[in-house]
Amino acid sequence: MPATKTIKISEEMKTKLDEIKIHPRETYDDIIRRLVNFYEKYREKIKMLNSSEVSSTNVVSR
C-alpha cells in the first residue's frame, strides 16, 4: 500500500495553499497537515462557521 495519495485540487486552491506557506520549501503535505491540526484545535468554531455559511448559502439560493 503506497504511503502517499494523490488529491486533485484546483489551480486556484493550489495558489491559496502557496500563499499560506511558512517557508518556500514547505511541502503541500506539510501545509495540509497544518490545516488539519488547525481544524483539530478549533474544531467547534469551524463547525459553527461552516454551519452558518451553509445556512446563509441556503437562504441566498432560495
Partner 1 sequence: MPKGKYTNLSIRREVREELDKIREELKINDLNDLLILLVKTYREHTNIISKLDEITNTISREITNAISKVISSVSDTHTNTVSKEHTNTVSKSDEPKPRVFCKSKSEIKNIERYVKWLKENNKLIDWWDEETKYCFEVKE
CA atoms within 13 A on the CB side of 7: 8
| The length of the chain, given as a count of residues | 62
Q: Binding to partner 1 (CB under 8 A): which residues in 8-27?
A: 8-14, 16-17, 19-20
**At its nearest, how many Å lie between partner 1 and the CB of residue 13?**
5
Burial class (CB in 10 A: 0-12, 13-18, 19+), 58: exposed
The nearer residue to partner 1, 12 or 62, going by C-beta atoms, is 12
Question: Interface with partner 1 by CB under 8 A: which residues?
Answer: 1-14, 16-17, 19-20, 28-29, 32-36, 38-39, 42-43, 45-47, 49-50, 53
